[in-house]
């Protein structure tokens, strides 16, 4: 009676219960597990809402079946679940089918409770509601027990009293809710590690003893985005009550390799057109600008749609912890200083080069205490958590007090027995900063100006890249450096020179700019070109 778990499905399971496939369609209802009962309900009572198969019973594919079984059949009831697949893999249909199951089936939710779908845009939120309402109207059984309010995108299951409402971040109405179940639709669109709408929804579930949050989405482009952090946490720390199924193409495969299509889009050949993917893949091979979009949306890989400077994999390979001893054993210590506006992030990153040629980085990042929460929301970064972990240093007041900053640095470096030899600095506000450094007793032998244009930054950008590619950086995975590295955009001039662009980068990159300037102190200059020697 058992069926083999397809290899693609097994490879996608990162956390949670590993389901057992049985021929449940042929079993008596009394012999079904809870997950199998949900599958039976979907295939019996939820018609396909639109498309070529409209009105016909929904048929779950193995990857959908595995997700449903993992949700309900584990030894411990799931509290969080993530299903990430490529575009056009039936995500919205599965979201609507699951929500209808929670509403109309007994024992999945307590009576008279709430369930919600949540999307970032009104348009996406409307898709889920439309799928659900269409399925209900096509099902005589569900229509008998439903009350649909189109104007408010609400549905009530009359047999259980459970109410559904579609939520959208654009509407800004996530407060005052208490959903027993929330299904996040395409939360891979969240940029950065936090979002106030998502935080409000998830924290509102605290009134329930066993709430469930389900996210069904294509992957986010960046490692620093909310969904990526959730997937990485579930992958690194598997738990019985956290389900995580990630369908993504092997990064070693070419975009035209059909094996990658099937790994990321397990609905290929069913309701996902293989011909359409082939056309998009061919376009991606011809147009480099289309490749990033294809890899992210179709192959479900983390590839930024805008050209990020650093590849996440390369950055991770350099995440070893820096060795404090090399900063105080007499070798050259450089500091990169990137001053911000008076109410943003200012970064001072120390760099020292060991005997093997590896550059160790030690960052200190500062921000004013007042207005921290507002900047946290604006920058979509968990500044408060980093302050608590002493990874972000707060300066009293509403603005950056340079006297306080340099006094703090002097005291900390004295305590560490570190002497700074060279300060590589951006000239912005440097006159005021140097005066504060002198008053505070912060001493460096050399202050070296580094322009932020192409001429000065391009060789430093190339040098930093070279160190990373040779695994000759040790940055310790400091969260503010990680944030900056995950979002930094490099731009080119017509001659091919590059610099980091703060305006186009999606989050603050000040710590990374400081790190590039500090590491640049250790660049090896090429010998001067001797024209006279050639003439002679």
Contact status, residue 16 vs residue 75, Cβ threshold 8 Å: no
Mean pLDDT of 438-449: 89
Kindly report the backbone phi and psi dihedral angles of residue 95, in degrees, each rounded to the nearest multiple of 5, phi listed first: -55, -50
> Mean pLDDT for the chain?
89
Which range has highest mean pLDDT (92-101, 265-274, 438-447)? 92-101
Band the pLDDT of 193: cuts 50, 70, 90.
confident
pLDDT on residue 506? 64
pLDDT on residue 229? 92
pLDDT on residue 339? 85
pLDDT on residue 53? 86
Segment 485-507, tens digit of pLDDT: 988 888 887 677 888 888 777 67
pLDDT on residue 363? 96
Segment 406-442, tens digit of pLDDT: 999 999 999 999 999 999 988 777 888 889 999 989 9
- Would you list the domain boundaries of the chain? 2-247, 253-303, 314-520
221-230 burial by CB neighbour count: b if 16+ within 10 A, else e? bbbbbbbbbb
Band the pLDDT of 65: cuts 50, 70, 90.
very high
pLDDT on residue 529? 35
Mean pLDDT of 224-241: 93
DSSP E strands in 270-418: the ranges are 333-338, 346-353, 359-368, 393-395
Kindly report the backbone phi and psi dihedral angles of residue 399, in degrees, each rounded to the nearest multiple of 5, phi listed first: -135, 165
Segment 505-520, tens digit of pLDDT: 767 899 999 999 999 9
275 pLDDT exceeds 60? Answer: yes
pLDDT on residue 351? 97
Q: Picking from 85-89, 160-164, 308-312, 456-460, which range would have the lowest pLDDT averaged per residue?
A: 308-312
Residue 144, C-beta contacts closer than 8 angstroms, at least 6 positions apart: none
Burial class (CB in 10 A: 0-12, 13-18, 19+), 172: exposed
* CATH 3.40.50.300 given to domain 2-247: yes
CA angle 70, 76, 78 (to 5 degrees): 55
pTM: 0.66
Mean pLDDT of 467-476: 94
Beta-strand relationship, 242-246 and 13-15: antiparallel
Contact status, residue 426 vs residue 434, Cβ threshold 8 Å: no
Contact status, residue 450 vs residue 461, Cβ threshold 8 Å: no
129 pLDDT exceeds 70? Answer: yes
Segment 336-368, tens digit of pLDDT: 999 876 667 899 999 999 999 999 999 999 999
Kindly report the backbone phi and psi dihedral angles of residue 391, in degrees, each rounded to the nearest multiple of 5, phi listed first: -100, -15
Determine the topology of domain 314-520 in CATH: Nucleotidyltransferase; domain 5 (3.30.420)
Mean pLDDT of 306-317: 78
192 pLDDT exceeds 90? Answer: no
- Looking at the DSSP assignment, which residues form a beta bridge with residue 167? 118
Q: Picking from 113-117, 139-143, 205-209, which range would have the lowest pLDDT averaged per residue?
A: 205-209
Percent of the chain with pLDDT over 70: 94
* Residue 486 token pair: 């995950």
Kindly report the backbone phi and psi dihedral angles of residue 490, in degrees, each rounded to the nearest multiple of 5, phi listed first: -105, 135
Band the pLDDT of 532: cuts 50, 70, 90.
very low
334 pLDDT exceeds 90? Answer: yes
3-state secondary structure of 361: strand
Contact status, residue 79 vs residue 213, Cβ threshold 8 Å: yes
105 pLDDT exceeds 50? Answer: yes
Distance set, CA 232 to CA 208, 228, 236, 248 (Å)? 26, 6, 6, 13
pLDDT on residue 453? 87
Contact status, residue 434 vs residue 457, Cβ threshold 8 Å: no
pLDDT on residue 526? 38
525 pLDDT exceeds 50? Answer: no
């Amino acid at each position: 009676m058992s069926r083999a778990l397809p290899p693609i499905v097994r490879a996608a399971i990162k956390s949670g219960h590993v389901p057992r496939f049985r021929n449940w369609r042929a079993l008596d209802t009394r012999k079904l597990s809870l997950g199998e009962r949900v599958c039976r309900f979907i295939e019996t009572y939820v018609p396909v809402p639109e498309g070529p198969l409209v009105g016909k019973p929904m048929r779950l594919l193995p990857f959908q079946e595995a997700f449903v079984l993992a949700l309900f059949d584990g030894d411990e009831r799931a509290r969080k679940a993530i299903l990430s697949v490529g575009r056009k893999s039936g995500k919205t249909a599965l979201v609507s089918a699951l929500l209808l199951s929670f509403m109309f089936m007994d024992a999945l939710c307590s009576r008279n409770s709430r369930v919600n779908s949540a999307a970032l845009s009104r348009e996406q939120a409307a898709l889920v509601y439309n799928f659900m309402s269409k399925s209900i109207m096509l099902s005589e059984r569900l229509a008998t027990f439903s009350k649909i309010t189109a104007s408010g995108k609400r549905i009530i299951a009359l047999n259980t009293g459970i109410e559904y409402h579609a939520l959208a971040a654009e509407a800004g109405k996530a407060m005052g809710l208490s959903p027993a179940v929330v299904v996040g639709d395409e939360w891979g669109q969240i940029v950065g590690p936090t979002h106030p709408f998502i935080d409000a929804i998830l924290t509102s579930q605290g009134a329930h003893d066993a709430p469930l949050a389900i996210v069904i989405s294509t992957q986010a482009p960046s490692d620093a985005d909310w969904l990526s952090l959730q997937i990485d946490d579930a992958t690194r720390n598997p738990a019985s009550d956290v389900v995580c199924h990630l369908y993504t193409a092997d990064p070693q495969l070419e975009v035209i390799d059909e094996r990658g299509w099937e790994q990321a889009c397990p609905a290929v050949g069913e309701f996902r057109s293989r011909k359409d993917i082939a056309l998009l893949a061919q376009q991606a091979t011809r147009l480099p600008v289309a490749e990033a979009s294809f890899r992210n949306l179709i192959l479900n890989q983390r590839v930024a749609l805008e050209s990020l400077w650093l590849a996440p994999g390369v950055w991770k390979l350099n995440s070893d912890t820096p060795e404090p001893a090399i900063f105080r054993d007499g070798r050259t210590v450089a500091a990169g200083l990137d001053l911000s506006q008076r109410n943003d992030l200012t970064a001072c990153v120390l760099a020292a080069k060991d005997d093997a040629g590896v550059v160790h980085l030690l960052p200190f990042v500062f921000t004013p205490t007042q207005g921290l929460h507002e900047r946290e929301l604006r920058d979509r970064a968990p500044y408060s958590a980093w302050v608590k972990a002493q990874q972000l240093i707060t300066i009293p007041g509403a603005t950056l007090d340079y006297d306080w900053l340099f006094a703090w640095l002097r005291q900390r470096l004295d305590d560490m027995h570190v002497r700074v030899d060279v300060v590589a600095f951006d000239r912005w506000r440097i006159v005021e900063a140097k005066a504060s450094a002198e008053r505070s007793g912060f001493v460096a032998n050399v202050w070296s100006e580094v322009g932020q244009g192409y001429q000065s930054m391009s060789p430093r950008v190339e040098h930093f890249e070279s160190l990373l590619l040779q695994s000759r950086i040790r940055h310790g995975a400091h969260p503010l450096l990680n944030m900056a590295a995950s979002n930094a955009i490099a731009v080119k001039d017509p001659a091919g020179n590059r610099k980091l662009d703060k305006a186009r980068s999606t989050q603050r990159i000040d710590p990374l700019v400081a790190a590039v300037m500090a590491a640049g102190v250790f660049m090896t200059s090429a010998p001067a070109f001797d024209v006279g020697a050639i003439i002679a």
